[in-house]
Amino acid sequence: MARNRRRRRPDPPGPIGFLVVDKPVGWTSHDVVDAARRWLGIRKVGHLGTLDPLATGVLPLAIRGATKLVPFLADGQKTYVGTIRLGVSTDTFDAEGRVTHEHDGPLPEEPVVKQAVQAFRGEIQQLPPMYSSVKKDGVPLYRLARKGEEVERELRSVTIHQISMPHYEPPEIGIEVHCTPGTYVRTLAADLGEKLGCGAHLSGLRRTRSGPFTLEQARTPEAWEALAEAGELEAELTPPDQALELPRVRLTAVQARKVGHGAAIPAAEASGEFEMGPPPRPGDRLSALIPSGEMLAVMELRPDRWLHPLRLLDGS
C-alpha cells in the first residue's frame, strides 16, 4: 500500500541573499538554521561551514535561491581567534570533553610555545577528531565516538596561511589562525600539546571571518529576530553578487530571458561594461544581473567567447 505523504507547502517568494549570524556558545549550526527558518517563515535555509557548539562568531546563512551558490563559496578562507589550555588533554580536543591526561610538570616557557606554534604554518596533515561530522561508511564519527568506538581515519591536508600567539598567560595561550576550509582548530590545539609534551585542548574559539563574510556583518540571533518581527530582516540580506565578489555584467531584458532558459549568449553582445576589473578571460566566472540589478546567474566565459550559465537563481 502506498504511504500517504504530507506535502510541504512551497516557501513564499522573496528576496535571495545571505545573512550572517554571530553564533552564541551552546548553539549548533543547525540550531541557527532552524531559528532563521522561523524568522523568515521558509524552509530553504543553509549554512556555510559548521561551527562547534563551543565556538562563536561568523556563521553565514544562505537564504532561498542563494543556497544554490554555496558550492561557489565553499572554498572561502577562515579566520579564528581562540584560547588553548596547556597541560590538560580531552577526548574531544576541547573543553566539552572528558579529561584524558593532566600534565604534572612545569609548562613550557613562552619562546618554546611560540616556536612550536609557528611550526604549524604552511601545509600540514590533520587527523579528523572522532568527535566530528566527518563520515565513516556513511556514519558521522561523533555517533561512533559516543558509543565508545574509535575507527581508522585518513589524514587530510590543510593549509595554515597565518598563525600567531597574541598572548601567553599559562596555562592558557591566545591563538589566531587564518586557514583553509576543513581545518580543525581543536586538532591544532591537541597537536600543539603533543608537540610540547604537555598536552592541550581548545578552551575557546571565535570565528571572525568565513570567506567574504566578517564579524562586522554579523548580528546576534536576538538582533535578527527583532528585525524579522519588525519586517525588516529581508532588506538586510547581503545580495548574492556582493557575496560572490565576481566581476559583474548586466544583461538586457532579451538576454536575461535567454539566460533564464539556460541559453548561452555572446560575450561581445553583453550590455553595459564588465563592472569589476579588466575584461574576463576564458574560464572566468561572472555574476550576471538583470536590468534592474538583481542577480540572475553565475556564468562562465568559454574559449568560444560565449557566456554560458553555470547556475541559475530564483526566489524559491
For residue 179, the surrounding DSSP H or E stretch is strand 172-179
Q: Is 219 helix (H, G, I), strand (E, B) or coil?
A: strand
Contact yes or no for 85/196 (Cβ under 8 A): no
The answer to whether 85 touches 193, Cβ cutoff 8 Å, is no
CA distance 99 to 286: 50
Which three cell numbers, joined as nine digits, stand for 255?
538576454
Indicate the angle between helix axes 221-229 and 29-40, nearest 10 degrees.
Answer: 10
Confirm if 189 and 86 have CB atoms less than 8 A apart: no
Among candidate residues 26, 20, 64, the one with its CA nearest the CA of residue 42: 64
Residue 171: asked if its preceding bond is cis (omega within 30°), the reply is: yes
The residues assigned a catalytic role are: 52
- The residues facing 213 across adjacent strands are 210
Dist CA 134 CA 231 (whole Å): 38
The alpha carbon of residue 52 and the mean position of all alpha carbons in its chain are separated, in whole angstroms, by 12
Burial (CB count within 10 angstroms: exposed 0-12, middle 13-18, buried 19+), residue 62: buried
Give the 3-state secondary structure of 234-301. Answer: HHHCECHHHHHCCCEEECCHHHHHHHHCCCCEEHHHCCCCCCCCCCCCCCCEEEEECCCCCEEEEEEE
**Cβ atoms of residues 239 and 273 within 8 Å:** no
